[in-house]
Structure 1
Amino acid sequence: MNNNDIIRRIRYTFDFSDAKMIEIFGLAGRDVTRAQVSDWLKKEDDPESKELDDEHLAVFLNGLINDKRGKKEGPQPEPEKRLNNNIIFRKLKIALNLKDEDILDMLDMVDFRLSKHELSAFFRNPSQSQYRDCKDQILRNFLHGMQLKYHDGAHE
């Protein structure tokens, strides 16, 4: 999955306006313009579309955590320069204050089965032997389940 697709899905799921998107970046200490946000949200086939780099997606996800959970005291976490699906998944889990059961329920909503052990492997330290890479298919299904839960209101 590419970063632009991820941010588009999050925006749609929570029905964020451009102003809210800008505010979320600001909550993580990054000022962005409406034009930047607009270009990142355009479909890939639009000539005005701009690629959202890992660092800006990390800033957005950090801002989403601050928006949903409140800002922590002290210095804010530095945004990662490189992201992978595991980090994106973890940040969304934190932002939405999800327990493993919540995630498994959301995956169930899109008919995607995963065991608790398989799920926990995505959130382990990469140096652990039980660590597993989160594939695009799993992140895509999670984002779809997130949309069903938070946008379409299947489980309010």
Structure 2
Amino acid sequence: MDNNDLLIRLRYALDIKDQDMVEIFKLGGVELTKEEVLKVLTKSDDNYEDDYEDEPSENDEHIRCTNSMFESFLNGFITFKRGPQEPKPGQANKPDRSIKNASSVNNVMLKKVKIALKLTSEDIIEILDEAGVTITKGEVSALLRKEGHKNYKVFGDQYARNFLKGLAIKYRG
């Protein structure tokens, strides 16, 4: 799944309106118009699996969602749902980028959606169960670990699809 697909599914699952999408991107530091957001929310015929540079490529119908754009959206989503966070003394204003490569996108999405929606590990287990996936608390813990940790586990595309499907069932009924 590419970032555009994740964004489309996340938007659908949480029933986020177009104007809210513009606001969320703005909170994350990416200025997009409503028309540009709609172009980001279109599926592309191209396959971007191996092509994840940070510059968005544009055409008339589609704007590609890069890793940095997707992470900015997720950061904006946290701010949108929970409000702005006051920086601690000595702390940098801009957060470090968590998405290091294409394989970490799903893990970062899971972590940031968990933070934004104030989900617990039990909630994640319940959401995946709604989609027909059985997972243990230890496995959830492994998915939420930092990349490079000895118990880190990649949150694969199938898990991500089922997580977003479970969110849709929970939030849309």
TM over 0.5: yes
Matched, 1:131 2:152: yes
CA distance in 1, matches of 2:95, 2:21: 19
Q: Which residue of structure 2 aligns with residue 60 of structure 1?
A: 73
Question: What is the letter of the counterpart of residue 77 of structure 1?
Answer: P
Q: Which residue of structure 1 aligns with residue 117 of structure 2?
A: 96
Q: Which residue of structure 2 aligns with residue 51 of structure 1?
A: 64
User: Secondary structure, in 3 states, of the residue corresponding to 2:110?
Assistant: helix
**Aligned CA-pair RMSD:** 1.8
Q: Which residue of structure 1 aligns with residue 95 of structure 2?
A: 77
CA distance in 2, matches of 1:142, 1:125: 19
Contact 2:99–2:108, Cα closer than 8 Å, also in 1: no
TM-score (norm 2): 0.80
C-alpha displacement of 1:103: 0.4
CA distance in 2, matches of 1:2, 1:30: 19
Out of 117-126 and 54-63, give the one that drifted further: 117-126
Question: What is the letter of the counterpart of residue 111 of structure 1?
Answer: G
User: Secondary structure, in 3 states, of the residue corresponding to 1:145?
Assistant: helix
Q: Which residue of structure 1 aligns with residue 12 of structure 2?
A: 12
CA distance in 1, matches of 2:14, 2:151: 33
Out of 118-127 and 102-111, give the one that drifted further: 118-127
Q: Report the identity percentage.
A: 39
Q: Deviations over 1:69-113 (max 9, x none)?
A: 111012242555645211111111111110000000011111101
C-alpha displacement of 1:43: 2.3
Runs of 4 or more above 4 Å deviation: 78-81
C-alpha displacement of 1:133: 1.1
Question: What is the letter of the counterpart of residue 6 of structure 2?
Answer: I
Q: Which residue of structure 2 aligns with residue 22 of structure 1?
A: 22
Question: What is the letter of the counterpart of residue 56 of structure 1?
Answer: M
C-alpha displacement of 1:41: 0.7
Q: Which residue of structure 2 aligns with residue 32 of structure 1?
A: 32
CA distance in 2, matches of 1:29, 1:104: 32
Q: Number of residues paired by the alignment?
A: 152
Structure 2: runs of 5 or more not aligned: 47-59, 88-92
Contact 2:25–2:32, Cα closer than 8 Å, also in 1: yes
C-alpha displacement of 1:31: 1.3
Matched, 1:141 2:154: no
Q: Which residue of structure 1 aligns with residue 49 of structure 2?
A: none
Question: What is the letter of the counterpart of residue 123 of structure 1?
Answer: L
C-alpha displacement of 1:35: 2.4
Q: Deviations over 1:102-133 (max 9, x none)?
A: 00001111110111111110111223211111
